Amino acid sequence: MPIKIQNDLPARVILEEENVFIMDETRARSQDIRPLEILILNLMPLKEDTETQLLRALSNTPLQVECTFMTMSTHESTHTSANHLNKFYVTFSDIKELRFDGMIITGAPVELMEFEEVNYWEELTQIMEWSKSHITSTLHLCWGAQAGLYYHYGIPKHLRGEKLSGIYLHRTIDRKVPLMRSFDDYFQCPHSRYTEVREEDILKHPELKILAASDEAGVFLLMSRDGRQIFMQGHPEYDRMTLNNEYHRDLSRGLNPAIPEHYYEHDDPFSVPPLVWRNMANTLYTNWLNFYVYQETPYLWVNTP
């Protein structure tokens, strides 16, 4: 089944060129199917890039998925046009009376700040609290995962000695958990961050379960045992060239970044890196949609506690 998006969302052209099955609003209205309603809180500055990445990741499922993009009302985006935001995005006040089957909270380039110093932190905490009663399962990505773990469980983030950037090998810890079905013993995934949540802090909370980790990158994937809250410190949704673009951006700014690890063949930053994590990403997002959203959410939210 397809993923449903607005008729003229820019990501549509890119995804159709990649042969991703897209259904626009006009065609969707002619089908008598109850789609999964997924709310995406996009905190990334380059919102159109993130839209494309997440829509691609959500498209490999037999379920029909309808996505609503949300932005923060207490933060002014300077990297995405106001016209794009006004046309394709909602704010919390627009949807706070609604219920959604699933939600994704993205990362954000604010990890060097304390959580309370982020200018939209109060609004974000309102959304995370609201998600407990209005969302079946929430998927938190990178800084969004660190923010969720801090808000829901009081788990701190720690500054790393240097930026973690590259493709890292991870081991599957428990494939009997539905989220990890069809995973290999080991898989690769991108990371790009300056901070981390540590295993010893997570283990203080028996209500959390670590599902995958890396010797180099640390904990990658964990969840609450009921599946309502899922946290990823990596970026399985990244495109082939995302780390490359980040590296060359920082290089042009004179930041002297390290070459992303295990990314380029022969560490040549002017080569096209191999794509070695797409199947893992498709499996992960499909498992989330199927086992933690579709299988758990009611067909109608009427009178649902």
Per the annotation, binding residues are 163, 192, 249
- Whether residue 234 contacts residue 57, with contact meaning beta carbons closer than 8 Å, is answered with no
Name the catalytic one among 152, 170, 191, 235: 235
φ, ψ (nearest 5 deg) of residue 228: -75, -25
- Number of alpha carbons in the 13 Å side-chain half-sphere of residue 117: 6
Of 48, 67, 142, 191, the active-site residue reads: 142
Candidates 48, 51, 66, 237; catalytic one: 237
CA distance 41 to 124: 10
Told to judge if 237 belongs to the known catalytic residues of this protein, a careful annotator would answer: yes
Q: Is 170 tagged catalytic?
A: no
For helices 121-134 and 143-153, angle between their N-to-C axes, nearest 10 degrees: 70
Q: Which two tokens stand for residue 99?
A: 């219920």
How many other C-beta atoms are found inside a 10 Å radius of the C-beta of residue 17?
8
Q: Which residues are annotated as a binding site for substrate?
A: 163, 192, 249
Angle (CA) 277 16 69, round 5°? 75
With contact defined as beta carbons under 8 Å apart, do 58 and 290 qualify?
A: no
Verify whether residue 75 is a known catalytic residue.
no
Q: Which residues are catalytic, by number?
A: 142, 235, 237
